[in-house]
Structure 1
Amino acid sequence: MSPTPEPVVSELIELLSLERLEADLFRGQSRDIGTKYVFGGQVLGQALSAAQATVDGDSGRRAHSLHAYFLRAGDIDAPIVYDVDRTRDGGSFSVRRVSAIQHGKVIFFCAASFQGEESGAEHQLSMPEVPRPEDIEPAPALPAEVMAKLSPKVQRWLSRRGPFEFRHVYPRDELNPPKRPPFQQVWFRLCEPVGDSPELHRALLAYASDFQLLGTANFPHGISYYQPNVQMASLDHALWFHRPFRADDWLLYSIDSPSAQNSRGLARGQIFDRHGRLVASTAQEGLIRVLPTEAKN
């Protein structure tokens, strides 16, 4: 039997466990993690959970890709309804289209594709040579006098204890960001062990994949989400699952940003397990605006 997860982990699992209203209609709650609006990873994880719930478990088909668009900011204080369309159940693949609805409007939609196990050609790129997670010290807490100078929004974000632990191979001071090339590697894992359900681990990875990704596009410009005049929002998100993995064991997120233009940044990620297997890939484009005057929170 798996150890009982700590409250912060069990809260996330509960968040991803949707209430079924009808055969293809689900309701999810939101969790305030310090962001102004609903965290994009939450909607990704919940939408994938909804799609997975409509695929016959006996078919052996599991999600291999997800392509999503964020249309409107989500309200933290209101539930989200997920409407699943069973677009196709073919001989080898199943496709689901999920719309996330809040206050009567679609705030997000995605398409997820499912496939059973098949044998065939296989290759992968190698994992970057980086220190092991055990050799990287956890990030220290900010001193109280530094926290006191930050905006209430940033204080809430930095003071939270999230369900995932992150260890940056090359840490960056997000409060005083230097300019540097748009690359980073981050080890991450769920803080406590959970069960063996592949569907749960996929939903957890969808949730976590929204951390760190878009921020990499800020690196060459010496800006950060924490700065009051920087406005950022996810526009779309793609996620591919390649091989089995566990979200409660260390995974390496290797990210680069090939372009930023027209107030949009593009970031790509490869996710490896600690044995060097490429288990997932991501891509995201997001809005990045640097306002001429301080933005109002």
Structure 2
Amino acid sequence: MLEVTKKLLDLLDLAPIGDDHFQGDSEDLGFPNVFGGQVLGQALMAASRTVEDRLCHSLHAYFLRPGNHSMPIDYEVQRVRDGGSFSVRRVIARQDGKEILTGSMSFQVDEQGFDHQLDMPEAPEPETLKSEQEMGRLLAPKLPEHMRETATRDRPIEIRPVNPVDPFNPEPRPPYKQSWFRAQGPLPDDPVLHRCLLTYASDFQLLGTSLRPHGKTFMSRNMQVASLDHAIWFHRDFRMDDWLLYDKDSPSASAGRGLNRGNFYNRSGVLVASTAQEALIRQRKC
């Protein structure tokens, strides 16, 4: 396992600080605030620590305030209900006494039932694509010095975008986007950990889908962008150390907000998880 991957696993390994209370460290990925996927992944881990013999099948969360990556985050888990088949937990993430995220997670016993799914869309094989890190190294000479380390840093989640846009000269494109994802190096056989890692990774590459029709990226001037909420549905078992295709679309943008949706497929074409997120995509007046 790569050191950068071990660091991410340690980040998700929360410390208990009381009954159904946990604390996690923060990481600085070079963004102004804590990466939203980190808070989501840690929140799911906190909730999972209070449930036995049931795996998360859905997560719904709201980002309330930007997080500070120089401070730890406290997670309070509330046991809403434990039924015969389902358990529901509410999680509140706080920094400096203020709520930065609130969410609910539902867990289900293993159960058999009807089974169908959408077919996996066509996509080039991941081996034919460059990783974000490789592309960052090519772009580094054109980037401001303070952005070069972020663009070229080692990543625990390898992302290989399909047909990426030129961040310096983005052209309007249809609201569709694909990327291959996998964790760097082999992982333990822990389905809870794999769900938390996918939750962490699912916040990468999603918001930008709603910017594509408008020829904008995170690097475009006068743009204010932020995730407002996030939802995940886990359908079938998967491994994060195998390639997963993240197929995304944005059906609508209006009133300064963009809706983004995604599906994760494994290489055999099995749909393993789905996501949805509304984002702030506000263009400030010059």
How far does residue 179 in structure 1 lie from its aligned partner after superposition? Answer: 0.6
Aligned to 1:19: 15
Please state if 1:93 is matched with 2:89.
no
Aligned to 1:61: 54
SS at match of 2:263: strand
Q: 2:142 aligns with which of 132, 141, 146?
A: 146
| Equivalent residue runs for 1:225-240 within 5 Å | 225-240=218-233
Aligned to 1:49: 45
What letter matches 2:20 in structure 1?
A: D
User: Which string of whole-angstrom CA distances, capped at 9 and with x for unpartnered residues, describes residues 57-104 of structure 1?
Assistant: xxx210000000000000111110000001100011000000001111
How far does residue 8 in structure 1 lie from its aligned partner after superposition? Answer: 0.8
Aligned to 1:10: 6
Please state if 1:273 is matched with 2:266.
yes
| Equivalent residue runs for 1:1-297 within 5 Å | 5-56=1-52, 60-138=53-131, 139-140=134-135, 141-147=137-143, 150=144, 152=146, 154-293=147-286
How far does residue 192 in structure 1 lie from its aligned partner after superposition? Answer: 1.1
How far does residue 160 in structure 1 lie from its aligned partner after superposition? Answer: 2.1
Q: 1:30 to 1:179 in 2, by over 3 A?
A: same
User: Which string of whole-angstrom CA distances, capped at 9 and with x for unpartnered residues, describes residues 122-168 of structure 1?
Assistant: 10000001111122243432354312xx373x434313221111112
| In 2: Cα distance, 1:20 partner to 1:179 partner | 47
| In 2: Cα distance, 1:203 partner to 1:108 partner | 16
What letter matches 2:209 in structure 1?
A: T
| In 2: Cα distance, 1:151 partner to 1:181 partner | 32
Q: 1:155 to 1:120 in 2, by over 3 A?
A: same
| In 1: Cα distance, 2:32 partner to 2:182 partner | 24
How far does residue 105 in structure 1 lie from its aligned partner after superposition? Answer: 0.8
| In 2: Cα distance, 1:156 partner to 1:137 partner | 18
What letter matches 2:203 in structure 1?
A: D
User: Which string of whole-angstrom CA distances, capped at 9 and with x for unpartnered residues, describes residues 246-288 of structure 1?
Assistant: 0111000000000111110000000000110000000000111
| In 2: Cα distance, 1:34 partner to 1:93 partner | 38
Q: Are the equivalent residues in 1 in contact too, given 2:140–2:148 (CA < 8 A)?
A: no
What letter matches 2:220 in structure 1?
A: Q
What letter matches 1:230 in structure 2?
A: M
| In 2: Cα distance, 1:161 partner to 1:229 partner | 29
| In 2: Cα distance, 1:274 partner to 1:125 partner | 14
Q: Using the aligned pairs only, state the percent identity.
A: 54
How far does residue 175 in structure 1 lie from its aligned partner after superposition? Answer: 2.6
| In 1: Cα distance, 2:185 partner to 2:116 partner | 31
In structure 1, the gaps of 5 or more residues are none
Question: So what's the TM-score if we normalise by structure 2?
Answer: 0.96
SS at match of 2:123: coil
In structure 2, the gaps of 5 or more residues are none
How far does residue 23 in structure 1 lie from its aligned partner after superposition? Answer: 2.5
Q: 1:151 to 1:262 in 2, by over 3 A?
A: farther
Give the count of matched residue pairs: 283
| In 2: Cα distance, 1:145 partner to 1:134 partner | 25
Question: So what's the TM-score if we normalise by structure 1?
Answer: 0.92
Q: Give the alignment's Cα RMSD to 1 decimal.
A: 1.2
Q: Are the equivalent residues in 2 in contact too, given 1:34–1:160 (CA < 8 A)?
A: no
